[in-house]
Amino acid sequence: MSFALKPVLLLTVAAMATPVGAAWASDTHHDGIWTVTTSAEDGACNTNYDFKMRVKNGEVTYAGFWPVKATGGINRAGLIRMNLAHSGQSVKATGLVRGDTASGDWTSPKPACSGSWVAKRA
């Protein structure tokens, strides 16, 4: 996986951005491993990615082999906010969980690009 995207990977399940506060943590409704698929739709990113994210107590972490830092979470209402970072690149993602599926949008400032993502609980 080249890291021209990894902003997309970084971001995507995305949709879970910003530091997790009390309102975003301690909810287990969405816990588990989620398979995420990204779609680059605008800008300098031209690769789509599939990867896994882990949700535990509402907090999101990356569940793959790349050295990716994921922070953020899912609140009780299913709103997702997260940041992903790898090798100086970052992605912000937001979205919504509905049952065992989720979807949303992501953006990356460098390279400047954006797109959407979908996820399914594994």
Could you state, in order of their start, the residue ranges of all structural domains in the chain? 7-121
The secondary structure of 37-103 as a DSSP string is EEEEEEES-----EEEEEEETTEEEE-SSS--EEEEEE-TT-EEEEEEEETTEEEEEEEEEETTEEE
47 pLDDT exceeds 50? Answer: yes
CB 82 within 8 A of CB 31: no
Fold of domain 7-121: Lipocalin (2.40.128)
Of 97, 91, 103, 93, the closest CA to residue 79 belongs to 97
88 pLDDT exceeds 80? Answer: yes
CB 54 within 8 A of CB 119: no
* Mean pLDDT lowest among 20-24, 46-50, 51-55, 56-60: 20-24
Cα–Cα distances in angstroms (integers) from residue 113 to residues 21, 59, 60, 119, in the given order? 28, 25, 22, 20
CB 15 within 8 A of CB 74: no
pLDDT for 5-41, tens place per residue?
A: 444 444 343 333 334 444 555 578 899 999 999 999 9
pTM of the model: 0.78
49 pLDDT exceeds 70? Answer: yes
